[in-house]
Amino acid sequence: MSTLSPARKNRFKQIARALPIIIGAFITAYGLEAVLIPNNVSDGGVTGLSIVSSQLTGMPLGALIAVLNIPFVYLGYKQIGKSFAIYSVIGIASLAYATTLMHHIPTIIEGDTLLITVIGGIIIGFGMGLALRNGGALDGIDMLAVLLARKLPFGTSDLILFLNLFVFIIVSFVFGLKGAFLSGIAYFIASKVIQMVEEGLSGSKTYKIITSQPDLLVQTIYDRLGRNATYNLVQGAYSNEQYKEITCIINRLEDSKMKEIIYEIDNNAFVAVYDVAEVRGGNFKKRDIH
């Protein structure tokens, strides 16, 4: 039986990674051309600037997306790496081509501003999230925010918000104040969908628990959720008593069951819960909830 050479395996991996980015770009283009743009609603970031420039100059949106993203792709290459830049080029080129291809497709929603912002935000958020999940980007403004955060006393998220406020001020001169507000709402919805797609619907949470019955609680968590836990010995600052602090990572679907177990064993337990961006290694597989 013949086996694939390492070079061929690597080629298949690259194709498998690039394909979802291309699909994400086409989904995003559909959200723009079939929902947002015909209703005078824009996106944020470089795409939003491209939409405004297209309306003002009459130049094709696809060409503007490609050209305006060039400096940001270079920035991504310098600050994040060659692989990210290459896959971002694939994504941005696909988005540029897809907007040109879909420019005259029928508008699926008209008039209903709530539906326009919600449906448009969901569609473009899903497309952009799919690209980001696979290591590419469809918009360069996030790269600029990462670079500025290293040089200014502000967080990346604060800078992304600031840069997009600037974009939506420009949008207001073309689409009006109402269009700018709707664009901001659509962008907000899209950002939440991007986060969901990147993390997955079953993103993880870390529970830190201090209880009077740590051993029973750990055993019950294992019996009902199939999740292991670890102990940290901690000491109360005032009481000087030592406790076993339980640390356990679960997926989001198990959250309500975890709370139920804790309340059942010790309803006075001290519990702190943290969102986890990513979990790797170990034995973190989904198990049946009993």
pLDDT per position in the chain (290 positions), as tens? 456 667 777 778 778 888 999 999 999 999 999 999 999 888 888 999 999 999 889 899 999 999 999 988 888 787 767 887 888 899 999 999 999 999 889 998 888 888 999 999 999 989 988 888 887 788 888 777 766 766 777 765 567 778 888 888 988 888 888 888 999 999 889 888 887 787 665 568 899 999 999 999 999 999 988 889 999 999 888 888 888 999 999 877 788 889 999 999 999 999 999 888 667 766 666 555 44
Contact 78, 39 (CB under 8 A): no
Ranges assigned E (strand) in the chain: 204-210, 230-235, 242-251, 270-276
Q: What pLDDT is stored for residue 271 in this prediction?
A: 95
Nearest alpha carbon to residue 184 among 112, 111, 121: 121
pLDDT at position 282 is 65
Give dist(CA 269, CA 141) in Å, integer.
44
Q: What type of residue is 89?
A: V
Residue 258: the pLDDT is 92
9-38: string of b/e by CB count within 10 Å (b at 16+)?
eeeeeeeeebebbbbbbbbbbbbbbbbbbb
Cα 31 from Cα 51, distance rounded (Å):
13
Rounded to an integer, what distance in angstroms lies between the CA atom of residue 259 and that of residue 210?
A: 14
Specify the pTM: 0.72
Tokens of 27: 């989904």
Q: Quick one: 118 exposed, middle or buried, by C-beta within 10 A (0-12, 13-18, 19+)?
A: middle
Written as six digits, the tokens of 257 are: 């069951």
**CB-based burial label for 2 (10 Å; 0-12, 13-18, 19+):** exposed
The region, left, alpha or beta by phi > 0 then psi within -120 to 50, assigned to residue 40 is left
Q: In the numeric block, which tokens belong to residue 163?
A: 């840069």
Q: Are 109 and 39 in contact (CB under 8 A)?
A: yes
- Please say whether the beta carbons of 66 and 92 come within 8 A: yes
